[in-house]
Chains A and B, each alone.
Chain A
């Protein structure tokens, strides 16, 4: 197997940023995200095309570049 390429050494600045962003999300933030997704999924339940199978089947787009 070929050797894996040497990862480009990030600049000092980016190292700091990555570490900062890599900090684990607090439970609070995680809960907030989950709540947002739940709200979004509620909305999708309301607006998703009612007969998904027919909608998907009839969506045909020929003749494109």
Chain B
């Protein structure tokens, strides 16, 4: 029996994932399916939450499962399960085959013809394994201490989390594709409070990396404290229309939403504000947005997507023009195009569907101070809330809650809260006046690397 990859997850007697995926495929073909793919996954993870200098909870876990997608006469069915025994896989394959019977015939469903694995750097870090639990707990405690000790104004650190995971996935299909890869990731965050009672403001500090070695616990803790402190004493300002600087946290959150609306599936189903706007001007030429499935530092980087298509770099907005949408195999088939390697899966529990990999906004030349100076009199948005409910993905209009700092005479002024910022997505992108140089990775709306942005004008609603 060929073992294609080294055995990853350390639990004894772990089944070979590729073999499990192939068995599931064979079983579904035997049951009568025309085309099949199977995605098998195995993972171990550790999460530690600390509070006031001690461990609040510690979770260590391992899991595995497989999802089988069967195409039968232009219909498709899906089944997933956690039983990777031969009997379990056979029963799963039969269920997937049976599930297809109720769907309508759709000429566009099927497996991608062009499967393969793109060259990617090593997606694992040895320290996820080599650091013992105690050392990871110390990392979390350091984050919390750095937040608490940053300033006397820090009144509490509600949550401090360190988490890491190692996962291995294998994909096999009835066209003969079989491959697997392994990846690790680690993140830490803290949620700090500054002030008390009705003056209390909160701040988030966060870092992501392939392993604990790549995290800077002091910086994460400090960031949580500093973000909370910078909003201390916030009041509701008067309503105005003014230039707005979006913090990288906020820019990343918006890009996550925008990435979702660039799904070809959403466009084809009439659910995207970008429908019909291909090759049109949708942003200021300063803004360049790429979906990059191969970025070495991006946590969504992988050799292939959820249906075996190599991941790639896809320029979405360049010179202010919308260049393309994101395609999985199905939506590409509908549009008469090629998949862009964006048939993503949340896990083995969901069939592939169009999703972003790593969204990257190219950094510009301006420091954050220069953006603020250029704004003159405006508003620095540190945080937004209610983004997912506040943005209408079809019309593009949004109205979301925000907090931040007023910009007065080119410098950060008093803290402001209970603000709504309102515009529509395209107007906001067209109004970008400058792009900051300090881009960073953030886990908001997927995996996003975003710099701060200066937007010419927005409605900032207050009292």
A, B co-complexed: no
Instruction: Point out residues on A near B: beta carbons under 8 Å.
Output: none
Question: Which residues of B are in contact with A by a Cβ distance under 8 Å?
Answer: none
